[in-house]
Amino acid sequence: MEYLSGNSLRLHMDEKFSQRYVFESKWTINTIILPTCNALAQAHSENIYHRDLKPDNIMFTTSARSEIKITDWGLGKDINHESLALTAAIGGQIGGTPGYCSPEQWFGFDGNIIDCRTDIFSLGIIFYEMITGMRPPAYNDNIKRRAVNPPSKYYPTISKKLDRCILWMIELKPENRFQSIWDLIFEIETLPDYYS
């Protein structure tokens, strides 16, 4: 296996958050979010979905932390070659990491196809966490959660357009999220935060 000397985004986040630091929007977008979107776009074009995106699975290739790779495709799903009927792991759940996993994946609803919108949800949680230092409220067994504050509530320099983008990514219902990774890439590339 390739050696990635930069360690995980999780370690970097924990180190920075312990110093009360949150990540600047432009760096976050250009170093983490867009490269992750581009990696997912390649996978999604082959109908392969990661299904366990979290900071632990985003690795920096070097200590300069200027390039990332997505790791741990162990829950990855190729819908062309795998049955859509997934076996429940525990109590109806089908895998994924609490705090990052989409509701439709976590609860394994009958008839729900796990697709690109699951990865978009997880990436949205990472995005929110990086620029605020906290994760949005978790959903409960009834697929409800407390109101999610827009990131700009904590950091007013964040644009309203970025607020809207991230909140769309983490909508609880898949149909209310971006419907493809390409739609998300287009939206991100038009954000003022991407350039400023």
Q: Is residue 27 within 8 Å of 57, Cβ to Cβ?
A: no
Within 10 Å of residue 182's Cβ, how many Cβ atoms?
15
> Could you give the CA distance from residue 28 to residue 38 in angstroms, rounded to a whole number?
14
| Active-site annotation holds for 119 | no
- The sign of the torsion formed by the CA atoms of 140, 133, 61, 29 equals positive
Q: Is residue 136 within 8 Å of 170, Cβ to Cβ?
A: yes
Q: Which DSSP string do the residues of 40-103 spell out, in sequence order? A: HHHHHTTTEE-S---GGGEEESSTT---EEE---TT-EETTTS-S-PPPSBTTB----TTTS-H
> Could you give the CA distance from residue 97 to residue 83 in angstroms, rounded to a whole number?
22
List 14, 52, 72, 193, catalytic entry? 52
**Which residue in 79, 58, 77 sits closest to 11, CA to CA?**
58
**Which residue in 96, 125, 137, 135 sits closest to 33, CA to CA?**
125
Active site residues: 52
